[in-house]
Chains A and B, each alone.
Chain A
Amino acid sequence: MVSSLRLPALTSLFSPSFTRRSTVSLRRRLHLRPPLAAGFSAQSAASSPTETEDRVDSKKSGRVQDRGSTDRVITPRSQDFNAWYLDVIANAELADYGPVRGTMVIRPYGYAMWEAIQDYLNVKFKETGHSNMYFPQFIPYSFIEKEASHVEGFSPELALVTIGGGKELEEKLVVRPTSETIVNHMFTQWIHSYRDLPLMINQWANVTRWEMRTKPFVRTLEFLWQEGHTAHATLEEAEKEALQMIDVYTKFAYEQAAIPVIAGRKSKVETFAGADKTYTIEAMMGDRKALQAGTSHNLGQNFSRAFGTQFTDENGLRQHVWQTSWAISTRFVGGIIMTHGDDAGLMLPPRIAPVQVVIVPIWKKVDEKTGVLDAASSVAETLKNAGLKVKLDDTDQRTPGWKFNFWEMKGVPLRIEIGPRDVSSGSVVISRRDIPGKQGKVFGISMEPSILEAYVKDRLDEIQSSLLQRAISFRDSNIVDVSSYEELKEAISLGKWARGPWSASDADELRIKEETGATIRCFPFEQPQGTKTCLMTGKHADEVAIFAKSY
């Protein structure tokens, strides 16, 4: 009975003619609405056409306006990954485009995912001895210039404030792209002796990088992140800290986001501007492109030398401190979206999902309504009291089938259906988002609170680990071991990741990038045993590297 109510799958509603359109029609449409037109016209004036390739397509904003009459259509993931990504972001109400080119509005559903990331990490940071604080967003340009490679790396992307309160500013101010410089400026004043070390802080903040090519969550002019900054007395301590934090990120990715990242070290070419070593977690997205999902840098003494950040050691000698910095941003939300999901939309890991269980009451006759709604509310109450994030979709504007599709598209891990027959039998029907159709559906689960609660919690745990397992097999089946440049090229051209021994030059690495579009994502911490010869030069290599195209 329930499945007969099901609407045609979203995929069958999709028509190829609805694929992404040029941005022109969007603008035209938006210009019809005066309030937004003001924002977008300012933005379009400030941007060239190539910069807006990821702009939302026309049909969706059109649909948002006549929502209620049309169903939401998303491009199948298997057909056009990028279009699917943008469709999902718009239709699942994760984000909207901001008024200025390349910025975005994070809507509550997307922001709740960020909050789940924050809640977990904030606790871990405190457990590992870090304190939160807040540095100003404005940095004098002269600070940025102090560390040579840092300014070189960031200067093209800097947003500069030159006018404030109606006056030209004496010194132009940088809207922080990252805070190493201001942090060091202050560390220099706070650190005197070895007793002041280690100094370990973190801040949750917004940062700005004036990027040309943008994509919601993945690369935006302004994004939210946490940035940790630490100072230590020895290189060893700094190295230990940098590794500890990449480990925190790795655990988070696996256990919470169900993303089987590969942790490793960046090549010299890919190392952060101003760092000695950069550690990274690299995630494979559904289109097999790599996403750098978090980084932890051993900054060595580069910034402390540039800023004169010194301490008196136990022997009374002045030494430069050793530092780290590490960050995870809203980009990670993009990583979650692009790791999981299918043609029907999002598929959220239960530990990240803003809604873990959606309850859809089903009634046909008016006299059934009250009984069904009462049962649904009490089930919702039971699960809420058990600490779960529950949504009861009791609107009567939509058919149950429409609701099924809608919440599937939003990626809610579990759906509970309650109809009149379920009420009389005191049971519910439960469907898993990760297993489509009948296989994922179980009938006759008792409404009895203790039974239901245990069942739901077990299923959520199963979904959490099944998403991870699925992502692991996907990742592993798309990494190819290569021993020559030819093999590497072939793997990359097939859209896969290539893993092979590497000891060649930076120039060779750049050549690979030019010729294949792939970069060294990392030298993974987990290395195969045995002797290795460099895939490029045939000379001895200590390590294998992973090559891939990336976001």
Chain B
Amino acid sequence: MENKLKSKSNHLPPFFVEHMAGGEQKKGGGEQKKAGGGGKKKEVKKETGLGLSFTKDENFGEWYSEVVVNGEMIEYYDISGCYILRPWAMSIWENIQTFFDAKIKKMKVKNCYFPLFVSPGVLQKEKDHIEGFAPEVAWVTKSGESDLEVPIALRPTSETVMYPYYSKWIRGHRDLPLKLNQWCNVVRWEFSNPTPFIRSREFLWQEGHTAFATKEEADTEVLQILELYRRIYEEFLAIPVTKGRKSELEKFAGGLYTTSVEAFIPNTGRGIQGATSHCLGQNFAKMFEINFENEKGEKSMVWQNSWAYSTRTIGVMVMVHGDNKGLVLPPKVAALQVIVIPVPYKDADTQGIFDACAATVAILSDAGIRAEADLRENYSPGWKYSNWEMKGVPLRIEIGPRDLANNQVRAVRRDNGEKTDISRVFLVEQVKGMLEKIQQNLFDVAKQKRDACIEVVKTWDEFIKALGQKKLILAPWCDEEEVEKDVKARTKGEMGAAKSLCTPFEQPELPEGTKCFASGKPATKWTYWGRSY
């Protein structure tokens, strides 16, 4: 255990120190070099009002709360569990949304909008379903001064709002498949630990709801959507995820089976459900009488799916990539990919430098790169470096007198601090190449860290030990609900109980005679376990 932990913590600090030192050095004309050593960061913070008071490794929770605020993603608000999504976060959401919306439209899914308000009768239609959500529902009980005769719920999810209409709209097989999606807010009045993006009482999401004539079609779509979710995480947010199936205990209340993409936060050793794609089977169809006349003229029930991802994606991104200097945004989702900062010296050609900055932004923008110059005169270059590092802009371009003279710019990568002088002749190609490298490197580093946390266990003792080491545990399991309940009961504690995260689609070989880690019964599959968000 000691070894493992050490290697992890050894990994970060040198990287961090090197990065900091690099940043300081370059400040040159802007800000005088600070005295080195431990007090450095504190001083920066004092002088600039920037910097973080907590480190990711030592106080992860506090670090996270601070970084989402200082990075201008979130503003806390007077109502606990409700957060303001600032433009910096919203543009990430919009970038992912643009990708996903276009993809599902290609799959002939159509957007629509169902009401926020749910009448209690409809809400209670599906029993298992409502048991899952009832404790979290928020109720409107008054309009103006008067009490409503019947309280009205705010949607925690929209299955029960939508399906009465599916029943009304679907008549014959020609009405199928019916594929609808909506982008909206949902409300879940939870009391456990609100965390920005990760667990909030109101959040934004998309929810897709589809109905098919056959189970095969539904099964196919579940996986198509799950693949889009994987791409959101891996290709856009640069976060490795595992595709798999949820256990009976963890599946969506009222559904047939649930698939998910699961991410992992090494710092806390917790798994996090990234997005879910459910096959609801015919359970809701039965409850809501969603029937159709098939080609033979017989009455049959539809097969349904629902699938969703939420603003939680952004929280996972912050947790996985952020460092002690703030956010680290993958270029593909960053509102701003390149920040251009003039570094004027006293006697230098300030106007020339400013013009070069503006020209650089113009060239990059024309090439489709999201770039801006920070030409504010009331802040030093050093302050600006820290500011944009806090906000996680993937690439910083500095232009000083020497760069001007050499017809070059200096590019500094946010992810690893690497500095490169780029000739202005090859600006676009070089910057594009660097952004791609950053995107790839973020993914590679995240994957390497996650993989280092995976621990294969075969016995209960190994399991408990790995859990204590904050591992992502892969264990052979008998796939019995009672056993999972038992695991939960036996691991209950301050940190929360362990549970199954998913059974990965990619299964390692399971040798004959392998026993379940928890029950000792014959194991049927490999399943990921751990604590989770």
Interface residues of A (CB under 8 A from B): 33-36, 38-39, 41-43, 45-46, 61, 64-65, 67-68, 96, 98-100, 103-108, 111-112, 114-115, 131-138, 140, 143, 155-166, 172-173, 175, 182, 185-186, 189-190, 195, 201, 205-206, 208, 210, 221-222, 224, 395, 397
A397 & B174 in contact (Cβ 8 Å cutoff): yes
Q: Which of A36, A138, A186, A222 has the most CB of B within 10 A?
A: A138
B142 within 8 A of A: yes
Contact flag A105-B91 (CB < 8 Å), given A158-B144, A165-B191: no
Q: How many angstroms between the C-alpha atoms of A138 and B91 in the bound complex? A: 22
Q: Looking across the interface, which residue of chain A has its beta carbon closest to that of B179?
A: A108
CB within 8 Å of A: which B338-382 residues: 376, 378
Closest chain-B Cβ to A464's Cβ sits at a distance in Å of 24
A99 & B119 in contact (Cβ 8 Å cutoff): yes
Closest chain-A Cβ to B313's Cβ sits at a distance in Å of 14
Q: How many angstroms between the C-alpha atoms of A172 and B490 in the bound complex? A: 40
Partner among A173, A208, A210 whose Cβ is within 8 Å of the Cβ of B79 = A173
Contact flag A33-B168 (CB < 8 Å), given A42-B121, A99-B117, A99-B161: yes
Partner among A39, A186, A190 whose Cβ is within 8 Å of the Cβ of B164 = A39
A105 & B141 in contact (Cβ 8 Å cutoff): no
B288 & A35 in contact (Cβ 8 Å cutoff): yes
B135 within 8 A of A: yes
Q: Which of B75, B122, B185, B190 has the most CB of A within 10 A?
A: B122
Contact flag A108-B112 (CB < 8 Å), given A46-B148, A163-B139: yes
**What would be 15 A-B contacts, judged by CB atoms less than 8 Å apart?**
A42-B119, A43-B119, A45-B150, A99-B118, A105-B114, A107-B112, A111-B111, A136-B202, A138-B201, A155-B145, A162-B139, A164-B139, A165-B137, A222-B117, A395-B174
Closest chain-A Cβ to B197's Cβ sits at a distance in Å of 12
Q: How many angstroms between the C-alpha atoms of A61 and B136 in the bound complex? A: 34
B154 & A161 in contact (Cβ 8 Å cutoff): yes
Q: Which of B116, B148, B149, B287 has the most CB of A within 10 A?
A: B116
Closest chain-B Cβ to A454's Cβ sits at a distance in Å of 27
Contact flag A206-B151 (CB < 8 Å), given A103-B115, A395-B174: no
B220 within 8 A of A: no
Q: How many angstroms between the C-alpha atoms of A131 and B376 in the bound complex? A: 19
Closest chain-A Cβ to B390's Cβ sits at a distance in Å of 16
A135 & B84 in contact (Cβ 8 Å cutoff): yes
B85 & A134 in contact (Cβ 8 Å cutoff): yes
CB within 8 Å of A: which B85-136 residues: 85-87, 89-91, 94, 110-122, 125, 134-136
Closest chain-B Cβ to A123's Cβ sits at a distance in Å of 12
A33 & B137 in contact (Cβ 8 Å cutoff): no
Partner among B85, B94, B113 whose Cβ is within 8 Å of the Cβ of A106 = B113
Q: Looking across the interface, which residue of chain A has its beta carbon closest to that of B120?
A: A42
CB within 8 Å of A: which B59-90 residues: 75, 77-79, 82-87, 89-90
Using an 8 Å CB-CB cutoff, how does the interface string of B142-160 with A read, 1 for contact, 0 for none? 1111001111101000000
Closest chain-B Cβ to A75's Cβ sits at a distance in Å of 22
A160 & B113 in contact (Cβ 8 Å cutoff): no
Kindly list chain A residues whose C-beta atoms are within 8 Å of the C-beta of B431: none
7 more CB-based (< 8 A) A-B contacts, given A131-B91, A133-B84, A137-B82: A35-B167, A103-B115, A106-B112, A134-B84, A135-B84, A160-B141, A175-B140
Partner among B83, B86, B94, B184 whose Cβ is within 8 Å of the Cβ of A136 = B83
Kindly list chain A residues whose C-beta atoms are within 8 Å of the C-beta of B168: 33, 36, 61, 64-65, 96
Kindly list chain B residues whose C-beta atoms are within 8 Å of the C-beta of A160: 140-143
Closest chain-A Cβ to B470's Cβ sits at a distance in Å of 30
B117 & A103 in contact (Cβ 8 Å cutoff): yes
A162 & B117 in contact (Cβ 8 Å cutoff): no
Kindly list chain A residues whose C-beta atoms are within 8 Å of the C-beta of B119: 38-39, 42-43, 99-100
Q: Which of B75, B84, B115, B172 has the most CB of A within 10 A?
A: B115
B111 & A99 in contact (Cβ 8 Å cutoff): no
Using an 8 Å CB-CB cutoff, how does the interface string of B371-412 with A read, 1 for contact, 0 for none? 000001010000000000000000000000000000000000
B171 within 8 A of A: yes
A105 & B187 in contact (Cβ 8 Å cutoff): no
Kindly list chain A residues whose C-beta atoms are within 8 Å of the C-beta of B333: none
B180 within 8 A of A: yes
Q: Looking across the interface, which residue of chain A has its beta carbon closest to that of B110?
A: A108
Q: How many angstroms between the C-alpha atoms of A65 and B190 in the bound complex? A: 40
Q: How many angstroms between the C-alpha atoms of A131 and B87 in the bound complex? A: 6
Contact flag A165-B113 (CB < 8 Å), given A39-B121, A132-B91, A138-B79: no
Closest chain-B Cβ to A119's Cβ sits at a distance in Å of 11
Q: What class of interface size applies to chain B in its complex with A?
A: 35 or more
Interface residues of B (CB under 8 A from A): 75, 77-79, 82-87, 89-91, 94, 110-122, 125, 134-145, 148-152, 154, 161, 163-165, 167-169, 171-172, 174, 180, 184-185, 187, 189-191, 201-202, 204, 287-289, 376, 378
B180 & A108 in contact (Cβ 8 Å cutoff): yes
Q: Looking across the interface, which residue of chain A has its beta carbon closest to that of B185?
A: A137
A159 & B79 in contact (Cβ 8 Å cutoff): no
B122 & A99 in contact (Cβ 8 Å cutoff): yes
Kindly list chain A residues whose C-beta atoms are within 8 Å of the C-beta of B87: 131-133, 201
Q: How many angstroms between the C-alpha atoms of A108 and B378 in the bound complex? A: 50
Closest chain-A Cβ to B131's Cβ sits at a distance in Å of 13
Q: How many angstroms between the C-alpha atoms of A210 and B116 in the bound complex? A: 13
Contact flag A165-B189 (CB < 8 Å), given A42-B122, A99-B161: yes
Kindly list chain B residues whose C-beta atoms are within 8 Å of the C-beta of A114: 113
Partner among B77, B142, B151 whose Cβ is within 8 Å of the Cβ of A172 = B142
B75 & A111 in contact (Cβ 8 Å cutoff): no
Kindly list chain A residues whose C-beta atoms are within 8 Å of the C-beta of B142: 159-160, 162, 172
Kindly list chain A residues whose C-beta atoms are within 8 Å of the C-beta of B114: 98, 105-106
Kindly list chain B residues whose C-beta atoms are within 8 Å of the C-beta of A221: 115, 117
Q: How many angstroms between the C-alpha atoms of A133 and B141 in the bound complex? A: 29
Q: How many angstroms between the C-alpha atoms of A195 and B376 in the bound complex? A: 9
Partner among B77, B82, B164, B185 whose Cβ is within 8 Å of the Cβ of A206 = B185
Q: Looking across the interface, which residue of chain B has its beta carbon closest to that of A154?
A: B144
Q: How many angstroms between the C-alpha atoms of A65 and B291 in the bound complex? A: 12
Kindly list chain A residues whose C-beta atoms are within 8 Å of the C-beta of B148: 46
A112 & B111 in contact (Cβ 8 Å cutoff): yes
A189 & B75 in contact (Cβ 8 Å cutoff): yes
Q: Looking across the interface, which residue of chain B has its beta carbon closest to that of A201?
A: B87
B190 & A136 in contact (Cβ 8 Å cutoff): no
Kindly list chain B residues whose C-beta atoms are within 8 Å of the C-beta of A99: 115, 117-119, 122, 161, 164
A140 & B78 in contact (Cβ 8 Å cutoff): yes
Kindly list chain B residues whose C-beta atoms are within 8 Å of the C-beta of A131: 87, 90-91
B90 & A132 in contact (Cβ 8 Å cutoff): yes
Closest chain-A Cβ to B138's Cβ sits at a distance in Å of 4
Q: Looking across the interface, which residue of chain B has its beta carbon closest to that of A210?
A: B143
Q: How many angstroms between the C-alpha atoms of A105 and B168 in the bound complex? A: 13
B140 & A186 in contact (Cβ 8 Å cutoff): no
Kindly list chain A residues whose C-beta atoms are within 8 Å of the C-beta of B171: 65, 67-68
B288 & A208 in contact (Cβ 8 Å cutoff): no
Q: How many angstroms between the C-alpha atoms of A318 and B244 in the bound complex? A: 57
A98 & B115 in contact (Cβ 8 Å cutoff): yes
Closest chain-A Cβ to B374's Cβ sits at a distance in Å of 13
B144 & A157 in contact (Cβ 8 Å cutoff): yes
A161 & B140 in contact (Cβ 8 Å cutoff): yes
Kindly list chain B residues whose C-beta atoms are within 8 Å of the C-beta of A46: 148-150, 152
Q: Which of A165, A189, A195 has the most CB of B within 10 A?
A: A165
Closest chain-A Cβ to B96's Cβ sits at a distance in Å of 14
Kindly list chain A residues whose C-beta atoms are within 8 Å of the C-beta of B121: 38-39, 41-42
Q: How many angstroms between the C-alpha atoms of A176 and B90 in the bound complex? A: 19
Closest CB pairs A-B (n = 4): A42-B119, A131-B87, A38-B121, A164-B189
A206 & B116 in contact (Cβ 8 Å cutoff): yes
Kindly list chain B residues whose C-beta atoms are within 8 Å of the C-beta of A98: 114-115, 117
Contact flag A105-B113 (CB < 8 Å), given A35-B167, A161-B154: yes
Q: Which of B84, B90, B136, B149 has the most CB of A within 10 A?
A: B84
Partner among B82, B125, B189 whose Cβ is within 8 Å of the Cβ of A38 = B125
Q: How many angstroms between the C-alpha atoms of A138 and B85 in the bound complex? A: 14
B189 & A39 in contact (Cβ 8 Å cutoff): no
